Structure 1
Amino acid sequence: MPFLVPREGDVQLLVDLLGGGPLEDWSLGLYNTAITPTETDTAATYTAHEAAFAGYGRKTLSRTVSPATWNTPVSQAPSGSPAWSGRTQVGHAQYGSAPQSWTCSGAGDSVFGYFIVGATSGKLICAELFATPRTLANGDSLSMTPVFEAA
């Protein structure tokens, strides 16, 4: 599953980290074309291929720390199987206690991955291609729990 923070996202994350101003919320979206993320991607790379199934809409990821939004960051073993990092501990934050979910309520679509953009800046923060696409038909659901880890 190629996960990437493109150049545009690198710069926006540094602005957020060092800029000292208010943080913008993020929008979590799904895309319906087999796009492997690259360094030069922008939000338009994914929004041009955004999911179109009935019942779809982007999810707002509030940029706060609370039980309902980003959980308090902790140090823990890296996730994944195999783990994405050889370090024994990495910084970890998960969004809420329940996954973000979409339910197809009519015409379906194939979902190949997700992307996160700044809700006001429109900058692409990151994108990931799923290992296998998910084909959604009427009544099917797709759920995911956003997690950020840093080593």
Structure 2
Amino acid sequence: MILYTKFEEIIEISENDILHFEQGLPGFENEKEFVLLPMEGTPFSTLQSVSNKELAFFTTNPFLFFKDYDFELVESVQKLLNIKEESDVLVQIILTMQEPLEKSTGNLQAPVVINVKENLAKQVILADNKYRTRHELLETSTVGQEG
């Protein structure tokens, strides 16, 4: 399948690459299929909509930047994503990229949780108020603190 991306790339993807968001993403409830495209040579990826080339988000593995980041998935989300093993889970956070790069932020309050075996995904809004929607990537000491 040919995919046209927001960044003017034309790439070939397999049906097996498509992540299914049963409920869409908050604010984009009708967008149910995305692919996660690693950005070569960086810790970043692009979460690209399959049906809307203009809809894409920069993401990253939060544990690379926030060593103390931790949350528990509620049982209803585990069932929705058919999660059986912790090793089946990939977590990404949506980024707001800034110039300079050091000012870029990550949304720790609403991680994207992916069952890599089933290709099921959901953006989970955490009830824990220690995380915010904008944590600076390079200021890891502020995670969990008010500010």
Shared fold (TM-score greater than 0.5)?
no
Q: State the TM-score, normalized to the length of structure 1.
A: 0.29
Q: State the TM-score, normalized to the length of structure 2.
A: 0.29
Higher RCO, 1 vs 2 (CA within 8 Å, ≥6 residues apart): 1
The structure carrying a bigger strand percent of its residues is 1
